[in-house]
A and B are shown apart, each in its own frame.
Chain A
Amino acid sequence: MAKKVPQINASSMADISFLLLIFFLVTTSMDVNTGLSRRLPAPVPPDQKIEDTKINKRNLFIVKINSMNQLLVQGQEMNVRQLKDKAKEFILNANNDPSMPVLYTEYIEGLGEVTYTKEHIISVQNDVDTQYQAYLDVQNELVAAYNELRDDYSHLKFNKAYAELDEDQQKLVQKVYPQKISEAEPKNYGGQ
């Protein structure tokens, strides 16, 4: 007669794996990577001369940040919180203000006649000593301005939020409100 092998008591196995489970739950961080997505301009080939492209002055929206993190927007001192509205006003140019970008009326396939400021450019200039957070605040406000404009326009045209549009529709909206944020090389604007 075969000897009876006693069964291993496995009732504590659940407790052990519970412990492991809790350990992993606590130690690992559900680290979601979030960030402000931007696109850098392509590098200029070294043999190419940098030409000063002429930009109509009224198409240009200049934001300067100095080493003390103070803002100068279109020659005016400003708080970061006002920047978004100011930028929106500039990009829209609803009243065809002669000091704001030139309005173009064009026919866009899928949207019809659209009046928009095709050539506006937002130029961000920062100092070498500008704080990263201040720079990011400015970038954030400008992106927010574009996002709000795109959202408003999507609601107007498609009755949906921008995020809910399909890819083709998003491309159309992007065509009307292209993100044109240009960054100059950092300079020393003083303020030491």
Chain B
Amino acid sequence: MPALNTSSLPDIIFMLLFFFMTVTSMKEVTYKVQISNPQATELTKLEKKSLIRYVYVGTPTAEFRKQAGAETRIQLDDAFAEVGEIENYIVSERSAMSEQDQGMMIVSIKADKDTRMGIIADIKQALRRAYALKISYSATQRTSY
């Protein structure tokens, strides 16, 4: 019996590899704040990644606690930020988008479930001022009450 020709096997596997490399998404940023997602049931999927900007809210992780303190902080992209910086961040991020995308921008608030509402309200006011009115409270599916 002639041996099975396996010379094309690597190519097939490489194809699979590339498929997974493109489809899967790496984490967008390295978290400097601890976030355990809140839970909800009425969730919608955020489809287009390019339209989404994130605002992370939580207490700094152990390695950043010395410089950032233990209080709830905001993270934009890769750095800690103050509430006042959100407006500028959103405006500059939006102006970097293409014109037809600008109106469809969604801001996803990824906040720790134990965050106090005071800071969330401040963020919401800042987003309103920046005219980023479409928001999404990031949450995971609730499995049980």
A interface list, Cβ under 8 A from B: 10-11, 13-14, 16-18, 20-21, 24-25, 28-43, 81, 126-133, 135-137, 139-140, 143-144, 147, 183, 185-186
Residues of A within 8 A of B132 (CB): 40
In the bound complex, what is the Cα–Cα distance between A81 and B30 (angstroms)? 36
Contact check, B117 vs A132: say whether CB atoms are below 8 A apart: yes
Given B10, B108, B127, B140, which contacts A13 in the complex, CB threshold below 8 Å? B10
Q: List chain B residues, Cβ under 8 A from A16.
A: 10
Task: Give the residue name and chain of the A residue nearest to B44 (CB).
Answer: A37
* Alpha-carbon distance A39/B127, docked complex (angstroms): 11
B24 at the interface (CB under 8 A from A): yes
Q: Are B121 and A185 in contact (CB under 8 A)?
A: yes
- Cα distance A37–B14 when bound, in Å? 38
Is B1 an interface residue, CB under 8 A from the partner?
no
Nearest opposing residue in chain A for B115, CB measure: A132
**A24 in contact with B20 (CB, 8 Å):** yes
- Which of these, B10, B117, B137, contacts A130 with CB under 8 Å? B117
Tell me if A42 and B13 are in contact (CB < 8 A).
Answer: no
With a cutoff of 8 Å between Cβ atoms, the chain A residues found around residue B6 in the complex are: 11, 14
Q: Which 5 A-B pairs have the closest CB atoms?
A: A28-B24, A35-B136, A128-B118, A13-B10, A133-B113
| A38 lies within 8 A of B135 (CB) | yes
Determine the distance from Cα of A10 to Cα of B9 in the docked complex, in whole angstroms.
10
14 A-B pairs whose Cβ atoms sit less than 8 Å apart in the complex: A10-B10, A18-B13, A20-B17, A30-B25, A34-B43, A35-B108, A35-B138, A38-B135, A40-B127, A126-B121, A132-B38, A133-B39, A140-B40, A185-B121
Collect the chain B residues with CB atoms within 8 Å of residue A32's CB: 45
Q: With A and B bound together, what is the CA distance between A52 and B42 in angstroms?
A: 32
